[in-house]
């Protein structure tokens, strides 16, 4: 277990390659540790469409039953559908078998509490301690758990999303939507949501397939060229694409231009804040300064957290914020549930478009100030990470922010963030400025600083 450094959870749950880095016994032991952590009650289990999903989910269920928990098996569902259903069904918690947007060979386990939200970091450590100490509860023949099928997860979720938007207003917009499901888990939920809102729908890669033969499980501007082309050729109002487990959504406008999650997140935030002036929005230190301008318009507050959906979700709950977003296309609408949800975000984007009464490209340019971003990464030996971060900090003329990594403002509207990866021996460099050239220069400069210090 030395390779794990006594950690199981990464930024977003436990991730591994079944049959290569870990076998199914690992999933049984982890299931037992999670069951021991929950202590009593019924746990809801679901999986995305990965090839190893069925086997892994069976192993996790066995572990939960062995620890004495009862299990409701939700089957193949998007992650946000499972998380929403926990809350709606009053379960003790949920375990989702998913590796989100990772390549096809990966899988993993994500644990949510009774509110449907990913458990706090300290609770992840409690599960890790049970696992490494081998202090799992082992039920006997009388107390071992029982499993049942739960077929209502997707339906419950779809109803939940639809109840949060003005369906009549959206239907009146007579929108045409192209949806690239990427062979992922939203295939079983999102199309019905959009059709129920009176939109004309065209789907791409809509058959769930864990080998992800379409465009792969991660939606990015590079992998969404077919979506852009389809939007233009049918004259659609917008395009939307999801990641493998359906919690992230990327949009393209009527011209087929794919927006970064910052831009779509800021646009939806503008719409949500218009209806809830003075509210609070949560985002990480890595996303665009455009949100501060959007928030200011509505007398709203922006809170910045470490990178990671768990950080966002927990802050949203603690500070009673209404909305949160990440630059990778993850958006959280708290009145629905404080987790990232691609289906909910799609419904909100449609309501936003209906409310603004203009094309998506126009709505974006009116509501969200334009900044330019650049990204890079530098390989750094783990032992050198602190030296690199100190070297970066020395470059700050004024103060460096240390919420997550080191963030330095280099001008009124330009910043650079250098942040060690939680999972790989690299540091990631993000920048934002008023021109593309300036953003790229910042990234280049700090990549050089990182390389020199890692020497
Ligand atoms: Mg995901």
**Which tokens belong to 239?**
């395009």
List phi, psi (to 5°) of 401. -85, 135
Q: What per-residue confidence (pLDDT) applies to 5? A: 58
- Residue 196 annotated in active site: no
* Catalytic position from the list 67, 85, 91, 100: 100
Q: Give dist(CA 410, CA 363) in Å, integer.
A: 30
Give whole-number Cα distances, 276 to 191, 261, 262, 323, 325, in Å. Answer: 28, 21, 20, 10, 16
- 2 pLDDT above the threshold of 70: no
As a whole number, the mean pLDDT across the chain is 95
Average pLDDT rounded to a whole number, residues 429-442: 97
Distance 338 CA to ligand 1 centre (A): 14
Distance 331 CA to ligand 1 centre (A): 11
Q: What per-residue confidence (pLDDT) applies to 191? A: 98
Distance 101 CA to ligand 1 centre (A): 5
Under 8 Å between Cβ of 271 and 355: yes
Fold (topology level) of 3-155: Alpha-D-Glucose-1,6-Bisphosphate; Chain A, domain 3 (3.40.120)
Distance 246 CA to ligand 1 centre (A): 6
3-class secondary structure per residue, the chain:
CHHHCCCCEECCEEEECECCCECHHHHHHHHHHHHHHHCCCEEEEEECCCCCHHHHHHHHHHHHHHCCCEEEEEEECCHHHHHHHHHHHCCCEEEEECCCCCCCCCEEEEEECCCCCECCHHHHHHHHHHHHHCCCCCCCCCCCCCEEECCCHHHHHHHHHHCCCCHHHHHHCCCEEEEECCCCHHHHCHHHHHHHCCCEEEEECCCCCCCCCCCCCCCCCCCCHHHHHHHHHHCCCEEEEECCCCCEEEEECCCCCECCHHHHHHHHHHHHHHHCCCCEEEEECCCCCHHHHHHHHCCCEEEEECCCHHHHHHHHHHCCCCEEECCCCEEEECCCEEEECHHHHHHHHHHHHHHHCCCHHHHHHHHCCCCEEEEEEEECCHHHHHHHHHHHHHCCCCCEECCCCEEEEEECCEEEEEEECCCCCEEEEEEEECCHHHHHHHHHHHHHHHHHHHC
**Which tokens belong to 242?**
């999801």
Distance 100 CA to ligand 1 centre (A): 4
Distance 245 CA to ligand 1 centre (A): 5
Distance 79 CA to ligand 1 centre (A): 7
Average pLDDT rounded to a whole number, residues 359-379: 96
pLDDT above 90 covers what percent of the chain? 92
What pLDDT digit, counting tens, does each position of 246-278 carry? Answer: 999 999 999 999 999 999 999 999 999 999 999
Q: In what order do the strands lie in the sheet with 107-112?
A: 9-10, 13-16, 107-112, 93-97, 42-47, 70-76, 147-149
Q: What per-residue confidence (pLDDT) applies to 4? A: 43
Q: Give dist(CA 109, CA 27) in Å, integer.
A: 9
Same-fold call for 3-155 versus 164-367 = yes
Residue range 164-367 in CATH 3.30.420.40: no
Under 8 Å between Cβ of 127 and 136: no
Distance 340 CA to ligand 1 centre (A): 8
Architecture of domain 372-454: 2-Layer Sandwich (3.30)
Average pLDDT rounded to a whole number, residues 22-31: 96
Distance 107 CA to ligand 1 centre (A): 12
- 397 pLDDT above the threshold of 80: no
Q: Where are the domains positioned within the chain?
A: 3-155, 164-367, 372-454
Distance 138 CA to ligand 1 centre (A): 32
Lowest mean pLDDT among 126-140, 230-244, 347-361, 423-437: 423-437
Distance of CA 411 to the CA centre of its chain: 30
Q: Per-residue confidence at 396, pLDDT binned at 50, 70, 90?
A: confident
Number of Cβ within a 10 Å radius of residue 362: 13
Average pLDDT rounded to a whole number, residues 436-440: 97
Q: Give dist(CA 62, CA 435) in Å, integer.
A: 54
């Amino acid at each position: 277990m030395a390779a794990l450094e006594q950690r199981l959870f990464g930024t977003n749950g436990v991730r591994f390659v079944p049959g290569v880095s870990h076998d199914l016994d690992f999933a049984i032991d982890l299931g037992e540790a999670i069951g021991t952590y929950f202590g009593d009650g019924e746990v809801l289990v679901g999986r995305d469409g990965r090839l190893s999903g069925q086997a892994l989910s069976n192993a996790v269920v066995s572990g939960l039953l062995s620890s004495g928990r009862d299990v409701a098996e939700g089957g193949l569902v998007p992650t946000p559908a499972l998380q929403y259903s926990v809350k709606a069904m009053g379960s003790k918690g949920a375990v989702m078998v998913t590796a989100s947007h990772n390549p096809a060979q990966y899988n993993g386990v994500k644990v949510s509490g009774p509110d449907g939200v990913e458990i706090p970091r300290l609770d992840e450590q409690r599960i890790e301690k049970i696992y490494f100490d081998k202090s799992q509860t082992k039920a006997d023949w009388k107390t071992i758990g029982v499993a049942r099928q739960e077929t209502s997860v997707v339906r419950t979720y779809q109803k939940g999303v639809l109840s949060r938007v003005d369906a009549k207003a959206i239907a009146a917009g007579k929108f045409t939507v192209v949806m690239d499901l990427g062979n992922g888990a939203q295939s079983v939920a999102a199309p019905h949501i959009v059709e129920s809102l009176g939109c004309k729908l065209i789907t791409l890669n809509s058959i769930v397939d864990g080998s992800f033969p379409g465009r792969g499980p991660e939606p990015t501007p590079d992998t969404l060229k077919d979506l852009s082309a389809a939007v233009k050729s049918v004259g659609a109002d917008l395009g939307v694409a999801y990641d493998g487990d359906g919690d992230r959504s990327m949009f393209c406008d009527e011209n087929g231009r794919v927006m970064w999650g910052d831009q779509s997140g800021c646009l939806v935030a503008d719409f949500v804040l218009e209806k809830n002036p003075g509210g609070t929005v949560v985002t990480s230190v890595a996303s665009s300064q455009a949100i501060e301008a959007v928030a200011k318009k509505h007398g709203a507050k922006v809170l910045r957290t470490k990178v990671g959906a768990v950080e966002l979700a927990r802050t949203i709950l603690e500070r009673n914020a209404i909305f949160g977003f990440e630059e990778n296309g993850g958006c959280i609408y708290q009145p629905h549930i404080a987790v990232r949800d691609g289906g909910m975000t799609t419904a909100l984007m449609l309501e936003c478009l209906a409310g603004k009464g203009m094309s998506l490209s126009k709505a974006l340019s009116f509501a969200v100030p334009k900044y330019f971003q650049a990204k890079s990464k530098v390989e750094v030996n783990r032992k050198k990470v602190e030296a690199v971060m100190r070297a970066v900090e020395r470059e700050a003329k004024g103060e460096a922010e240390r919420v997550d990594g080191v963030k330095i403002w280099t001008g009124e509207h330009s910043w650079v963030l250098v942040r060690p990866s939680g999972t790989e021996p690299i540091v990631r460099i993000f920048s934002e400025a008023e021109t593309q050239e300036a953003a790229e220069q910042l990234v280049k400069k700090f990549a050089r600083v990182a390389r020199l210090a890692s020497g």
